[in-house]
Amino acid sequence: MKSLPHRLSGRLEQKHENRPNKTRTETNVNPETAIRHAKSLVEVVRSDARTSDENRQLSQSIANAMAVCNLYRIAAPQEFNGLDADSKTQMRVLEIISRGSGAAGWNLMIGVEIFGLLAPSLCTCKDLLADPLTIMAGSTAFVGEAEACNGDHRVSGQWQFVSGIHNADVFGATVRLTQKGKAIDDTLYYAMIPKGQYEILDTWHVAGLRGSGSHDVKVNEVSVPPDRIVATLGHGNMRSKQLNLPLGVRLTFNKVAVALGIARSGIDAFCELASGKVPRFSTRTLYQRPFAHQAVARAEARLRGARAAMYEHAEQVWDVCQSGDQLSYHDRAIAHILACDAVKAAIESVNYVTEAAGTSANVLGSPLERIVRDVRVVQQHVTVAPHHMEDAGRVLLGMEPRGILLM
């Protein structure tokens, strides 16, 4: 495994200590710094990709390295050691890490979204995030109950798809507040539960993004004080630039970034393979074959075109929303069209090069074999699933959207 950049090694040792008041030396003061930190980790992340995949969870050293570089907090308010970064910067950071490992990029993406979504509402429990190395995980795949009990809330439930939970210090459980079994209101809340008060169930037996460790989490009547029950979606007192964007659009952008990074890693892996592989019944290396030339050219064209359109629109959307204007349904529809197409382009790009790679792309443990599995999973996420094309097309023809992501 590649060694960590020297300036990070000391910080990682501190990650395992009791460190209530540690200060950060790798703060992201601007987008360029965040991007530079991400680039410094790519080779380390890539060298760990197979290990995390085989273990079905992201290696703690990788999660720690990303925390040390403050990458989890690039969307968080500055009050929480965050950057409150624009969409383009977030996408670039996630794309870079995903080029090293799709699982690492996915887990970072989830962490970025959780901090961006929840941090503005965490004014009542800042102590949970006072340590800038704290990592959060969460899930919206299930809504549990937080039953009022003697001034606190008794939280119970089992949440699926909790990516990066083995690396997390805090679990954000999506809940409804209840009293005598009946919901108090229609608002969704997050119950902030520290490590040690929840159980990780070994349920992540999958093919793609295996290294994300998206296991289930079970909570059984854990008492959570009121100041650790926080409202989501901008109900807090702290303002953030992230809250100016429609939620469906914001979540979509970051999924695309992961897919783009994985696809780029597929082209990387193919180029490395082609330089040395001599296919059976041939005297020429793979990189000398016309079919390989066509494959890599088509992959580049498809990926670069979709990526350019996505980044251009993300920048336009950010500028509109930060100016105080509401994003039109038309622009939301374009965002989802480009996002769905970009994820499809990522898959197609990987398909081009794996076809040319031959059976090498089917060998367990080879980078291309893992990349094929990983990139396909991104499209299965609800925010970038292909069926959104239909709803977006309705909007372009002047009809009302049906899906909640466009509203």
Q: Which CATH number describes the domain made up of 6-129?
A: 1.10.540.10
**CATH of the domain spanning 136-231, picked from 3.60.15.10, 2.30.31.70, 2.40.110.10, 3.40.50.1100:** 2.40.110.10
Decide which of 287 and 346 is more confident.
346
Decide which of 290 and 258 is more confident.
258
- 341 has a pLDDT exceeding 60: yes
pLDDT band at 78 (very low <50, low <70, confident <90, very high): confident
If you classify domain 245-406 with CATH, what class do you get? Answer: mainly alpha
The confidence score (pLDDT) of residue 21 equals 38
* 215 beta partners: 162
For residue 207, give the nearest of 350, 382, 362, 61 by alpha carbon. 362
Task: Give the percent of the chain with pLDDT over 70.
Answer: 90
pLDDT band at 72 (very low <50, low <70, confident <90, very high): very high
Sorted by where each begins, the domain ranges of the chain are 6-129, 136-231, 245-406
The confidence score (pLDDT) of residue 183 equals 94
What is the longest distance spanned by two Cα atoms in the chain?
A: 78
Segment among 16-25, 79-88, 275-284 with least mean pLDDT = 16-25
- 13 has a pLDDT exceeding 60: no
343-379 residue pLDDT tens = 999 999 999 999 999 888 899 999 999 999 999 999 9
Most confident of 69-83, 150-164, 175-189, 393-407: 150-164
The confidence score (pLDDT) of residue 27 equals 63
- 188 has a pLDDT exceeding 80: yes
For residue 42, give the nearest of 20, 12, 17, 62 by alpha carbon. 62
The confidence score (pLDDT) of residue 130 equals 82
* Residue 362, both tokens: 């089917």
- Segment 270-284 shows an average pLDDT of 73
For residue 29, give the nearest of 89, 107, 104, 88 by alpha carbon. 89
207 to each of 94, 211, 364, 369, 385, how far by Cα in Å?
Answer: 21, 9, 11, 10, 18
For residue 229, give the nearest of 184, 182, 167 by alpha carbon. 184
CB 15 within 8 A of CB 133: yes
- Segment 180-208 shows an average pLDDT of 95
Task: Give the percent of the chain with pLDDT over 90.
Answer: 74
The confidence score (pLDDT) of residue 132 equals 87
Q: Which helix (H) or strand (E) holds 397?
A: none
The confidence score (pLDDT) of residue 22 equals 38
